[in-house]
Structure 1
């Protein structure tokens, strides 16, 4: 366990991870249910996570964080994730959707 993670890194990474998992469950399941596998890694320099799921293939475009109109009811999740971490990657590998996120760690004050 890494109890030495700066609060802002922990908060940003956890928020991005919860948002990503939420999006996977909401959008990839298509009402049929899915299986997800989550792995998280922390070392002295970076926090990273990988989520793979058996959901339908998504048409995902990662072109940078773009927020929807102010009154839009959805569409903020991916932009929020991209603002909170340094790297977001999506690929379809066989029958799986695979997401990876990472955030560089700040040194302790």
Structure 2
């Protein structure tokens, strides 16, 4: 990884959430907003953003993503099981098994 120079800055829609949070808006390859930029295509623009990034909001976004991953990991063991099963067999360790017979450390939603 690392920042590299790109040929053209991404197009930002005029329907911005707010001018101060413009970094949250989707970025497009073209002014017609037909093809959206993928995360790996934004790397060079995110290294030196044109506006300051709201660290508090960024931390909330990152916390949400971490919570999503943890919730998925915890839920995989008891997914689609009745409440009674969870009471009788609480998740105490991640040792594999569960609804999907996962190996230890295996993930399901990618």
- What is the TM-score normalised by the length of structure 2? 0.27
Max Rg structure? 2
- Choose between structure 1 and 2: higher strand proportion: 1
- Choose between structure 1 and 2: higher helix proportion: 2
